[in-house]
Amino acid sequence: MDRQLRIFETPHFQRAVKRLKANQKTDLDIAIKKIADNPAIGSLKKGNLSHVRVYKFNMVGQLPLLAYHFEAKELILELLHVGSHENFYRNLENQERRRD
């Protein structure tokens, strides 16, 4: 049985995507496809965010970060947060604390 990767977005991620312009969303979609093809592409974080991977990609001349969690057994890719480096990890950590 060949199972497909399922991709979920957190509400925080959805709100961040709403603020993006069309050309930025195109670059984000390309980055998500790269992550879906190779979930280990992002760097694994330590400490409170040890279950999170972060991928830095090019979006209209900027280098934003995309945080995600990949569950290999269930083939689930959960998109957590996207944004600039400024306060990225602080906001991500706060978001994760609220989820627990």
Mean pLDDT computed over 6-33: 96
Report the candidate in 10, 6, 8 with the shortest Cα–Cα distance to residue 94.
Answer: 10
Q: Measured between alpha carbons, how far is residue 25 from residues 5, 9, 37, 94 in Å?
A: 21, 14, 18, 25
Q: Tell me: the pLDDT tens digits for 42-88?
A: 999 999 999 999 999 999 999 999 999 999 999 999 999 999 999 99
The pLDDT of residue 32: 97
Q: Residue 67's Cα: distance from chain center in Å?
A: 3
Model's pTM, two decimal places? Answer: 0.92
How far apart are alpha carbons 52 and 62 in whole angstroms? 22
Other CB atoms within a 10 A radius of the CB of residue 44 amount to 12
CATH architecture label of 19-99: 2-Layer Sandwich (3.30)
Where in the chain are the domains?
19-99
